Every structure is written in structure tokens, then in C-alpha cells.
Structure 1
Amino acid sequence: MSKIAVVAVVASMALVGCGKNDDTKGSDGDSPSASADVCEEASGDGPKVGLAYDVGGQGDQSFNDSAYQGLKKAVEDLGATCTEGEAAQDEPESAREARLQSMADAGMNPIIGVGFAYSDSVNKVAPNYPNISFGVIDGFDPDTTANPNVAYLGFAENEGSYLVGVAAALKSKTGTIGFVGGVHNDLIKKFEAGYVAGAKSVKADIDIKIQYIEESDLSGFGDPAGGKEAAAAEFDQGADVVYHAAGASGSGVFDAAAEAGDGMWAIGVDSDQYLTASAAAKPHILTSMLKRVDTATFNMIKSVADGSPLTSYQTYDLAHDGVGYATSGGFIDDIVDQIEAAAAKIKSGETKVPDKP
């Protein structure tokens, strides 16, 4: 795909509220312009990829950035060319549909929506383009029968959250830990359920404070101030470790941990957030629950390149390295053996991790 074509597609998507945010940085430390160059300068003859980010877009240091890393790997390893779009805060469903349709009309294949919020729009657009493969990270089909040209790329977030719950309980000195969710929906409750189960496997009577930033409004994933307020309240109630599953709002959780002082910890999510945290927050990021959105994104693209596109429901669990935990900073080096023992029980089936609180 030529630079001119890429620019044209990006321009058309900007009309539906899909421009890039020039104040953000990618998870690999690139500036926004350098990140955009991955698609603008790609010149291979591999698959033409459309990647539609969720709210927060590239530079959220979490979910969207992990998808970007999978796209970047496809450009480097598969000769992919690409175009990107980004969801605006509180945009109508029609804007997501228009974004996907613009990519399809431009010949992108596959087209990947980052986040469950693309489920309805993919369901409406995909049937009109039967020769194009679509993927939805954390997606689901609203109908009883899944679309034949759509892959729903899910994760066992509860299993990864179980492991960081083990870490939280082992590291807590107060016997009280916390959880901050971005939006109180079934997906984020999977994180809560695993975290609570993991912590209680270590200490049955551990006290766990739980707060959600928003009940249903997706802005809960893009509200650092709300994340900070929720985490600060939990630290004030005696928690010394707080895990967030709140997207870009997690930066506020990190700020709250830093302001709470020595011995106060935060746990990141989706990517290794120690690597992108501020200097003030770094000493307080105990670990991160890794959700390999990058792996799912790359695998979806590779399946199209190989001529065997993924379809239906795909689950990336602990046994298949779809989830895990980070060790950056060295703060959990002394308990890795115990975390690995817990992981082995999940992989063997001895431990069944709940997916509902």
C-alpha cells in the first residue's frame, strides 16, 4: 500500500473522529510521529492491516499499545502495510462502523478492532465484506451464530490476575490489598475474580478493597484522575498493594501509590507497565499482569498471511502464554518460585480459577 493511500485512509477516518493524539507516546518509547511512521513508511508486500484502537488510543501504555506492538511485529516480520484509527471518547456506534468500513473499502485485510466495544460494529460491517477477515480483541458476537469471517480474540485474564493476586498477598504487610476496575462490566470482573482468588489462596482472610471508576461508561478507561481517587481511597483504608484493570486510568493508580509513600505498591495490567511508568512511579510498581494482546494481534495477521484466517472464538490462556506476569524492577524476585508453583497448578488443571466475582 502506498503512502498516499495510507494518508487518504487516515484522512477519511479523521472525519469520523479517529485522529491520533499528538500528546501521547507509544509503549516502546517512540514519539507519536515515530509510531505513525511504522504504517506510513511500511512498504512490504504482506497483508494490508487495519487496526482500530479503542478509547485512549496508541500511547495508553496499556491495552492499545500492546496491540500496536503486535502490528509493529507484523510490519517487521511479515512485510505488512497498515493503517490505524482511534476511537473518540463517547463517540456513537456509527463512528466505529464508519471507521471499519473505511478500512474495508481501502482493501485492508485483516481488520482488527481493539476492544469489546467493537463487537457490535464488526457484527454489522463484516457480513458486507465476506472476503475480508475481521478480528475483535475481547470481542463477542451479539447474535446466536458467530460471523464466519470474524475471530473473537479472548484471554484468560482471570488466570493472569490470579498470579498477581498471589504476589499481592505475599508482599502485603498490612493484610489489606485493593483492586480498581475501569468499568464495572463482565470483562473487568474477570480480572477482579482472579485477583481475589489468587490472594485468598495465600491468605484466606485477607481484606480486599474493590472500587470501579464507572458503572458502565467507557470513560472509566480514560480517567487517570478517577483512577487516582479510587486507589488513594484504598490506600487510606489500609491497602498497601492495589491492582488496576482500568486502561489509561491506571496512570492515576500509579500516582496514588507514589504519593502514598514507601512500601505502597501498584500492580499494572496488559503490558509491563514498569517500563513506561514515570520515574516517581517506577519504585512502586510491584509487577504487571501481562495480557498478550500483541500476540493475539500478530497471530491474527499471520493467519491471514498464511491463507488460513482465524475465525470464531480464540482463547489465549496461561498454558498458551496468553497471560502472565512481569518481573521488571526485581520487586518480586524473592517470590517468583511461589508464583510459578501457582501457575503450574493452573496449567495442570489442579487449580480452576473463577471468572466471576
Structure 2
Amino acid sequence: MLRKRMSVFLAMVLVLGLLAGCAPKAPAPQGETPAPAEQAVKIAMVTDVGGVNDRSFNQSAWEGLQRAKSELGVEANYLESRQEADYETNIETLVDQGNDLVWGIGFLMGNTIEDAAQNYPDQKFAIIDYAYENTPANLVGVVFKEQEASFLVGYIAGKMTKTNKVGFIGGMDFDVIHRFHYGFKAGVKFANPDAEVLEQYAGAFDKPAIGRSIAEGMYQQGADIIFHAAGDTGNGMIEVAREQNKFAIGVDKDQNADAPDHVITSAMKRVDNAMFNIAEELKDGNFPGGTTVVYGLAEGGVDIAPTSDKHVPAEILAEVESLKGKIVSGEIKVPQSKEEFEAQ
């Protein structure tokens, strides 16, 4: 008898469950629609030949995207270029992967990114270190006033040299590196008109062995401080400075950690901030396509490294702070080319 009652009870439960499942669902309140799930913004970058671990501007760019991933929830990715021939293929791969924004990192990618922007008008692009005369509406260029930070580290080198000889190693001979080069020379001259600047271009950003060779020659000629704007090539110089107990000045990132007793300062170029800021604007629907964004001292885009106080005397750092204000106000105009330097 108990078994029969239990069977009837279970049958009733089943019927009620079916009726509930067939019942019409309550309509959404009039004028409201369910909010779709928000999809993460996808941003990817193509590195220059120095690679993502160059301890310079490629690495700084990737750190900016990682910060955007952490703080903004974007999806971040990169492809490394081993040679210039990889640029076009890597860019097309990232477009095919459905990224909302594709970055080219470095001046050498300028023409390839512009061609891609024209070939894919519905795709957003951005590039570090390139300004176009007529920027496509789906592309933003980001450039820096590298000469301003370079002037400051040049001033430090001019004040701190004991031999009245300092050195500059450039990666490749084009406008971006000229801004580092002649800003540095101007800073050295401003601090110490008697100081000589040894200068040489390596012809590459990914050849630390060449950086070593150039640095060994400069230190042998009497330079006691060398500044590089050469990506991974310049890391070879820093190794020589450590081995020979000389001084080095880093670039792009604070490179003191690479040789804590020998990297006295660095000309920082906040590529990471630029990457993060553009990501934030894109996520907010304010992508600045068709424009060139410029970062200098006034915009917090360049500066000397925060670890400078480990080796640079306090009185020199105080003078540097004064120089910053004069650069921002326009009282000091820092040259960004050979022509501007020689005209001073």
C-alpha cells in the first residue's frame, strides 16, 4: 500500500514539473533588454627585431599591455619579429586573429603599418615612434620628445665625467635616434663645454656583440661614461661597463637593475604609459585615430630614471630639476637634429 501511494506521489510531482516547465515566462519589463555580456577588448603588438625581452622599448611596450590586461581587463598578445621581413606577416596574422587594435613597435615599421591601415580600413592600428604627414583615420601615431630626457642625462654625464670624455652609441641612423643623440650632446655641452663626445652608430638594435665592441673602443679612448640608444645592442655596452668598472647610461627603461653599480641614470621613454593610455581610450570608445600623440617632459612621457639618486649627487639632481622646468616652459629649446644642434 505504501509503495502504491509513493508511486502516485512521484507521478504527481512529475506532472507538476512538466506543467511548470511549459508555463510562459514572465516578459522583461517594457523598454528593457537584457544587457549582453561584455567582451574583452583584444590588443596585440608586433615587436621590432630586438624582441620582447630587449630590456628596452619593446619590453616597455609589452609591460604597458600587461598593465592594461591587469587593470582594464583587455586581452593582450604579441608576435616577435626576427627580421624586417616578418613585419607584414606578423601584422596580417594579428588582424586575422580578430584583434581590436594592432600595434607596430618602432620607427622601422612605419610604412608597413600605414599600408596595413589602408588595406584594412575597418581595423584599428597604432605605432610607436612614427608620425605621418596624413595619418589614416584608423591609425594613431605615438612619438616622444626623446631629446628632452637625453639632454638631462647628457647634463649629468657632463657634470660627472672625470676624463672630460663621454660616449654615445646609437642603434640605427634615423630621426628617432638623432633626437637621443643631439639632445645628449646638447646636455653635455650645456654642463661642460670642455667635454668631448665620442659617437658611433651600430647599425642594429639586436647586436649586443657590436655594442660591446664599440664600448670597449670608447672606454679605451678615455671615455668614462657612455650613453646608448641602441636597444639590445646597447646592452653589450652595459656589460662592458660592469666588467671594466666604468659608468653607463641606460635608455627607455630604468636600466640600473642590469648593472646596479654602473648604470648611473637612464633616459626613460614611457612607451608603457603610451600603450596603456591608448588601450584605455580604446576601451572607452575614444580611439584617437587620424592623429599623432606626442609625449614629452610636460606629458610625463620622458624623464630620468628614479634610481638616479643612487649615483648622481644631490646637487646635480637639483640642477636637473631646474632644467626640467626650463625645458617645459620653452626657456631651453633642446635640439632634435644635427642641424638644430649646430645652429645653437
Q: Which of the residues 102, 118, 133 maps onto 1:127?
A: 118
Once the 2 structures are TM-superposed, how far is the Cα of residue 313 of structure 1 from its aligned partner? 1.2
- Identity within the alignment, %: 37
Q: CA offsets, 1:188-227, max 9 Å, x none?
A: 111011000011111122111101112xxxxx10111100
Does residue 1:87 correspond to 2:64, yes or no?
no
Paired residue for 1:267?
249
Q: String of CA shifts for 1:64-106, please: whole Å, max 9, x gaps.
A: 11001110111011110122101113x42xx322211221122
User: 1:45·1:79 contact (CA, 8 Å) conserved in 2?
Assistant: no
Q: Give the structure 2 partner of residue 35 of structure 1.
A: none
1:75 to 59, 66, 69: 69
What secondary structure, in the 3-state scheme, does the structure 1 residue paired with 2:50 have?
coil
RMSD over aligned CA atoms reads: 1.4
Residue 307 of structure 1, aligned match among 251, 275, 285: 285
Residue correspondence of structure 1 range 204-353 to structure 2 within 5 A: 204-214=193-203, 220-261=204-245, 264-275=246-257, 277=258, 281-311=259-289, 312-328=291-307, 330-334=310-314, 335-353=316-334
Choose from 146, 155, 159 the match for 2:144: 155
Structure with max Cα Rg: 2
Tell me, what secondary structure is at the counterpart of 1:83?
Answer: strand
SS of alignment partner, residue 154 of structure 1: strand
TM-score using structure 1 length: 0.81
Q: Which amino acid aligns with 1:252?
A: G
Tell whether the 8 Å contact from 1:139 to 1:154 is kept in structure 2 after alignment: yes
CA contact (8 A) 2:66 2:76 kept: no
Counterpart of 1:11 in structure 2 is: none
What TM-score do you get using the length of structure 2 for normalisation?
Answer: 0.84
Counterpart of 2:288 in 1: which secondary structure? Answer: coil
- Tell me how far apart the structure 2 counterparts of residues 284 and 247 of structure 1 sit (CA, whole Å): 18
Structure 1, 55-64 or 158-167: larger mean CA deviation: 55-64
SS in structure 1 opposite 2:200? strand
Stretches of structure 2 lacking an aligned partner (at least 5 in a row):
1-37, 339-344
| 1:108 paired to 2:99 | yes
Provide the C-alpha distance between the structure 2 equivalents of 1:134 and 1:87, rounded to a whole number of angstroms: 17
Q: 3-state DSSP class of the match of 2:214?
A: helix
Q: Specify the code of the residue in structure 2 equivalent to 1:241.
A: I
**Unmatched segments (≥5 aa) in structure 1:** 1-43, 215-219
Q: In 2, are the aligned partners of 1:133 and 1:304 still within 8 Å (CA)?
A: no
Aligned equivalent of 1:46: 40
Kept in 1: contact 2:145–2:294 (CA 8 A)? yes
> What does the per-residue CA deviation read over 1:173-202, in whole Å, with 9 as the maximum and x for residues that have no partner?
111111011112221111011000011111
Residue 131 (structure 1) shift: 2.7
Find the aligned partners of 2:45 and 2:175 in 1 and give their Cα distance. 24
Higher mean C-alpha deviation, range 315-324 or range 114-123: 114-123
**Contact kept? 2:101, 2:123, Cα under 8 Å:** yes
> Does the 8 Å CA contact 2:268/2:302 hold for their aligned counterparts?
yes
- Structure 2 counterpart SS, 1:134: strand
Cα distance per residue 1:319-342 (max 9 Å; x no partner): 111100113261114221011111
Q: How does 1:136-175 map to 2 (within 5 A)?
A: 136-141=127-132, 144-175=133-164
